[in-house]
Structure 1
Amino acid sequence: MSTDGTHDEPELTFQPIVFAALRARLPAVAQSVVGAVVHEVAEYAVPLQQGNMAANIANAVRLALDGFLRMAQPATGGKQPSGELAIALDGAYALGRGEARSGRSIDSLLAAYRIGARVAWREWGTTAVEQHVSPQEMVRFAERLFAYIDQLSAASVAGHGDELTESGRAREQQRERLGRALLAGAPVDQLIAYAERAGWEPPRTLTVVLVGADRARLLSGVLGGRTLSLAADVAEDRQLPDHVRILLVPNTGDDRSTVWAALGNEPAIVGPCRPWVHARQSYTRAARVLLMHGPAPGGVDTERHLTDLVLNADPEAVADLRARVLAPLNDLPAATAGRLAETLLSWLLHQGRREDVARDLTVHPQTVRYRMTQLRELYGDTLLHRATTLQLILALSGRT
């Protein structure tokens, strides 16, 4: 092949009358090619029988075949063979991109090219024989025709691949924008617009799963193509480690059974199931549990940590509450304060039932009685107040 993309094959030495005969057959050859493609390639059977598309394809076939004849015939002015080839290859490239946009695989188009080459050779070969073309020239003619079809096929493959790459990249960008908006809690109309641009059909619910980036691709594939997979840094709060990836999984069910089945023994954090426009709630809870406990094999269910989440919602407020309600114990030795705090929490949770407290703490009921006498001296009548009871339970539950 030369540097300009043309083959270094000698020109055909057909007499002008032969080229005239081949060109006269061109409309019939093009029609035969289209008919054969419709008959033999099922994916084109319906589209090529429909109005405008059938006319467009028939015209494209005629142009491709005409381009070949112009390339094969010795130049007598006008476009040189390399120029004709460039035009034909540009058309084939565009055809490949169009097939990708239509959702068809490249296989059908390549099959159509093969059929076209076979039919064109049969039709034009018959004409060439009628024009008494020599066997050597017939062989050369066939080589030139099939080489031309190979070049068109390669151009279409390139166009098809480029379209898929670019459309895939664009789709991923749109999905990332959608994911950012979901995690940011954007307005519903904005979320719907992003979903439409991304070609993503909104599900009923979304569940956030936080998983290691090295396992995210496999897991998102198992969970389905509508699962959104986002890097940790897309979240506005930027609180997750870089090695974590955020999956937004559609329609897991309230029990999130599809997630548990997919996880197997993979370490992860699984947030609650929420309506898709409120996916931020699932993300926020999953992120908080990740920072509090870290992932565990088989997945950590955030719904099993609701108490911890409540107690740690405002760490400073919890610390202030503990300092205030446990102040009466401050002057005691640490070991004594610890025993009294443990007894007080059990007494509050068991609603003052001394025998139950003794069993819970594995001590004698008289020990419970003695400790509670000390606590009543320290707290006085406030132990009878409902507000104090709630505050003490919260403070003592998170005491370390």
Structure 2
Amino acid sequence: MDGATARATSEHLALEPAVAATLRERLPDVAAATVAAVTAEVPSYAGAFTGDLGATITGAVQVALGGFLKLATRTAGSDPGTPLTPALEAAYDLGRGEARSGRSMDALQAAYRIGARVAWREMSAAAAGAGMPAGTMARFAELVFAYIDELSASSVAGHTDELATSGRVRERYLERLAQLLLAGADEGTVMSAAARAGWQPPATLTAVLLPEGQVHALVPALPAGSVLARQDLPGVSDDDDLVLLLVPDLGGRRRTRLLRMLAGRDAVVGPARPWLEVAASYARVRRTREITTIRGVVDTDEHLAEIVLGADAEALADLRTRVLAPLAGVRASSRERLAETLRSWLLHQGRRDDVAADLFVHAQTVRYRMGQVRELYGDALDDPRTVLELTLALGLTPQAGAAG
């Protein structure tokens, strides 16, 4: 704030030398009365005469009153900004200090209201005793309250700026913490980063990967201590426009609630892991995103089989080619039906009626097709290893080996 209102008001105020001298003499008493009233009437400042807070309040009040008196007694033609600058700077710093202490502006604004009342009461009494005319007294009152408004506005600006600055700094610290966790840094390094960020480690962390455009409305509802990482995500291109959430202690009902919150978003939710091992949760999320075509919310805990089989797509393709080789000589249309029937037979453990219901065919059709399959595979269908490999090759994707 530049104090324009207070400066303009002071231009129309002319204090007699005797009045100015009386006010200057009374200044220490006015400061003491103001401090006493603030510490007595504002609960946040109770007991503030001891410690750093008391010294800060007292110093700010003395600077403010000194600036006011200089402004009120400045001579015509002098620079009006000179007496205001130190007081406005002190008020700005006071606002920043309140933000750093974790307090809102409510207490400080209450202090300004009380300070204005007490300062006016004390100074008006002193001015009247020194013979200030009634007309001058009105302008004097106007200057007191305009000046307090300027100080209050300067403190609000300091408070706002400090919150913005500290928020950005903490965000950078949290980004760094996320990078260290994903890189598997040693515990000492990670703990130091957590302390710098003012972050309390939880028992577990869960990785959640989703598009950046979908995260803003979600963040306010996340559990306290959640970490948002936007940059340098391992295995993710910046062009993908993805962000990573590391969500603390997401087990049981909390996980269910988060999944509901994510409804309508394209999110992949990893498993909960001890917080120092959250890189494993992120790795699961990243692999799942690479292999799945599912849209919407993907809970990796519900897709473990797909994740296991998709971990090495080339190996799975080789397995399918090898174990389905006996079907290769059958014409394409028959090969597709036999592979489909073999898959259902494996998953239903050979229960013919269940296979027929699954495929919407007659049980005799199942018997006929499986007879053809047995002719192709022979005794291999009784080999547990072959059954395992066929289950892996066909179990998750219908007709996966039909076109071989």
TM-score (norm 1): 0.86
CA offset digits 1:190-244 (Å, max 9, x no partner): 332222222121122222334443442222212234222333x541211587454
Measured after TM superposition, the shift of residue 121 of structure 1 is 1.5
Q: Which runs of 5+ in 2 are unaligned?
A: none
Pair 369,12 (structure 1): closer, same or farther in 2 beyond 3 Å: closer
Secondary structure at the counterpart of residue 237 of structure 1: coil
5 Å-filtered alignment, 1:262-301, equals: 262-263=261-262, 268-291=267-290, 292-296=292-296, 299-301=297-299
Q: 2:310 maps to which residue? A: 312
5 Å-filtered alignment, 1:235-274, equals: 235-238=233-236, 242=240, 244-254=242-252, 256-263=255-262, 268-274=267-273
Asked which structure has the greater RCO (Cα within 8 Å, sep 6+), the reply is: 2
Secondary structure at the counterpart of residue 199 of structure 2: coil
CA offset digits 1:144-170 (Å, max 9, x no partner): 222222221121111111111101111
Secondary structure at the counterpart of residue 248 of structure 1: strand
- Paired with 1:340 and 1:87, the residues of 2 have a C-alpha distance of 89
Q: Which moved more, 1:132-141 or 1:22-31?
A: 132-141
- Paired with 2:355 and 2:53, the residues of 1 have a C-alpha distance of 84
- Paired with 1:75 and 1:196, the residues of 2 have a C-alpha distance of 53
Q: 2:45 maps to which residue? A: 44
Runs of 4+ in structure 1 deviating by more than 6 angstroms, as ranges, are 1-5
Pair 170,365 (structure 1): closer, same or farther in 2 beyond 3 Å: same
TM-score (norm 2): 0.86
Q: Which moved more, 1:21-30 or 1:279-288?
A: 279-288
* Letter matched to residue 190 of structure 1: T
Q: In 1, are the aligned partners of 2:87 and 2:151 still within 8 Å (CA)?
A: yes
Secondary structure at the counterpart of residue 244 of structure 2: strand
5 Å-filtered alignment, 1:172-211, equals: 172-211=171-210
5 Å-filtered alignment, 1:119-268, equals: 119-231=118-230, 233-238=231-236, 242=240, 244-254=242-252, 256-263=255-262, 268=267
Pair 369,155 (structure 1): closer, same or farther in 2 beyond 3 Å: closer
Pair 191,295 (structure 1): closer, same or farther in 2 beyond 3 Å: farther
Measured after TM superposition, the shift of residue 9 of structure 1 is 3.9
- Paired with 1:338 and 1:225, the residues of 2 have a C-alpha distance of 52
Q: Which moved more, 1:31-40 or 1:201-210?
A: 201-210
Secondary structure at the counterpart of residue 246 of structure 1: strand
Secondary structure at the counterpart of residue 224 of structure 1: coil
Q: Which moved more, 1:101-110 or 1:173-182?
A: 173-182
* Letter matched to residue 110 of structure 2: A
5 Å-filtered alignment, 1:21-100, equals: 21-46=22-47, 48-75=48-75, 81-100=80-99
- Paired with 1:19 and 1:41, the residues of 2 have a C-alpha distance of 31
Q: Which runs of 5+ in 1 are unaligned?
A: none
Pair 175,351 (structure 1): closer, same or farther in 2 beyond 3 Å: same
Q: 2:332 maps to which residue? A: 334
- Paired with 1:213 and 1:242, the residues of 2 have a C-alpha distance of 9
Secondary structure at the counterpart of residue 218 of structure 1: coil
* Letter matched to residue 174 of structure 1: Y
Q: In 1, are the aligned partners of 2:273 and 2:280 still within 8 Å (CA)?
A: yes
Measured after TM superposition, the shift of residue 100 of structure 1 is 0.9
Measured after TM superposition, the shift of residue 33 of structure 1 is 0.3
Pair 358,240 (structure 1): closer, same or farther in 2 beyond 3 Å: farther
Q: In 2, are the aligned partners of 1:343 and 1:357 still within 8 Å (CA)?
A: yes
Tell me the number of residue pairs that the alignment of Structure 1 and Structure 2 aligns: 395
CA offset digits 1:3-24 (Å, max 9, x no partner): 8994374364333232222111
- Paired with 2:32 and 2:154, the residues of 1 have a C-alpha distance of 23
Q: In 2, are the aligned partners of 1:208 and 1:246 still within 8 Å (CA)?
A: yes
Secondary structure at the counterpart of residue 49 of structure 1: coil
- Paired with 2:238 and 2:59, the residues of 1 have a C-alpha distance of 57
% of aligned pairs identical? Answer: 49
Secondary structure at the counterpart of residue 268 of structure 2: strand
- Paired with 1:364 and 1:117, the residues of 2 have a C-alpha distance of 93
Pair 124,358 (structure 1): closer, same or farther in 2 beyond 3 Å: closer
Measured after TM superposition, the shift of residue 40 of structure 1 is 1.8
* Letter matched to residue 19 of structure 2: V
Pair 59,352 (structure 1): closer, same or farther in 2 beyond 3 Å: closer
